[in-house]
Amino acid sequence: MKIKIKPDKNISTAILIFCINCLLLFILLFFISCKSPAETMESSAVDRYESMRIDMVNNQIISRG
């Protein structure tokens, strides 16, 4: 028993689906790339704050000591 699959003659549907998939992938990558720098900026601000606190404590220890 042989099953023959006939390809769809209407290729515009395949092209439309492909374009929609590319568009969705582009939007997803755009949101991922926009989210990442915000997180790194936030974490670098926290790191700067922590290093400032450590420097302040070290200066107080040195001035007392």
User: Residue 25: what pLDDT?
Assistant: 94
User: Residue 64: what pLDDT?
Assistant: 75
Please write the tens of the pLDDT for every residue from 41-50: 566 777 788 8
In angstroms, rounded to a whole number, what is the distance separating the alpha carbons of residues 32 and 26? 10
How many helices and strands (H and E) does the chain possess? Answer: 1, 0
User: Residue 23: what pLDDT?
Assistant: 94
In angstroms, rounded to a whole number, what is the distance separating the alpha carbons of residues 44 and 42? 5
User: Residue 29: what pLDDT?
Assistant: 87
Segments of the chain scoring below 50 in pLDDT:
none
